[in-house]
Amino acid sequence: MATQTPDPAANPAGRTSLVRRARKIDRVLAATYPDARCELDFDDPFQLLVVTVLSAQTTDRRVNAVRPVLFGAYPTPAAMAAAPRDHLEQIVGPLGFFRQKTETLLKLSADLVERFDGQVPPRLTDLVTLPGVGRKTANVVLGNAFDVPGITVDTHFGRLVRRLGWTEETDPVKVEHAVGALFPRRDWTMLSHHLIWHGRRRCHAKKPACGACPVARWCPSYGAGPVDPAAALALVRTEGPA
């Protein structure tokens, strides 16, 4: 007979232990990455919305490289909605999937102009109705442009919360709710940054740097990567991937 993993929610003592462990890990990660923040450059909510949409299937560094040219040419939703398609494709070309991304930017900008007077709405329910915008993108914008707490469930975040034993959920919305229940709402945005930075720098998908991990003692997945300190240290990145 297969054994079932105990559900901490059904065990008050287990639930309390999980909450304490999760919050301790977050405090240690906060101390490890005191500069943790959104790694996409932006000057206003519109820029953050656009660069977050563009960051799909590419790196933040590549998006940051095209940002000055993109917003130098099209600084507002109205300007971007009227942009010549071929010029926009040329700008976003280095990011891959440039035709699809150009189409999304044109529709997104037009929607902002037509439905929201050219302003990025500060509400999740409105943001997710925009072309190319899901809950992940919406929470990035809310947390970093409007100071509205949100949990950003990207690939790094989802991988880490499962490795850390905070949830077994794989659906991003269920992950968001399960992890959000472990922390005060005010901590959600910075929690996202801490885990994403840790995922980019140490807790890699294929070969985590377990022997150089500041939260190894509380991690049930310790040993998924090299535990030798020297071998693990060689895997540590000082910044996110290029």
**Over 50: is that where the pLDDT of 55 sits?**
yes
- Do the first three CATH levels of 15-35+151-233 and 45-145 match, i.e. the same topology? no
Which percentage of the chain shows pLDDT scores above 70? 94
* pLDDT tens digits, 168-188: 999 999 999 999 999 999 999
**41 closest CA partner among 68, 8, 75:** 68
pLDDT at 37: 97
Q: Are 218 and 209 in contact (CB under 8 A)?
A: no
- For the domain 15-35+151-233, what is the CATH code? 1.10.1670.10
* Cβ within 8 Å of residue 63, ≥6 positions away: 40, 51, 54, 55, 95
**Active-site choice (154, 171, 174, 228):** 154
- CA dihedral in degrees (176, 182, 188, 191; nearest 10)? -100
Whole-prediction pTM: 0.90
* pLDDT tens digits, 69-86: 999 999 999 999 999 999
Of all helices (H) and strands (E), which one includes residue 188?
A: helix 188-201
Residue/partner pairs of 14-22 with CB below 8 Å, 24 or more apart: 18/165, 18/166, 18/182, 19/182, 21/218, 22/164, 22/166, 22/179, 22/182, 22/183
pLDDT at 109: 98
Listed by start position, the domains of the chain span 15-35+151-233, 45-145
For the question of residue 187 being annotated catalytic, the response is: no
**Active-site choice (136, 147, 206, 228):** 136
Cα(49)–Cα(95) distance, integer angstroms:
16
pLDDT at 4: 45
For the question of residue 154 being annotated catalytic, the response is: yes
Correct CATH for 45-145 of 1.10.287.1080, 3.40.50.720, 1.10.340.30, 3.30.530.20: 1.10.340.30
**Over 60: is that where the pLDDT of 2 sits?**
no
Cα(240)–Cα(60) distance, integer angstroms:
8
Q: What is the mean pLDDT of the chain?
A: 94
* pLDDT tens digits, 20-50: 999 999 999 999 999 999 999 999 999 999 9
pLDDT at 7: 52
* pLDDT tens digits, 191-208: 999 999 999 999 999 999
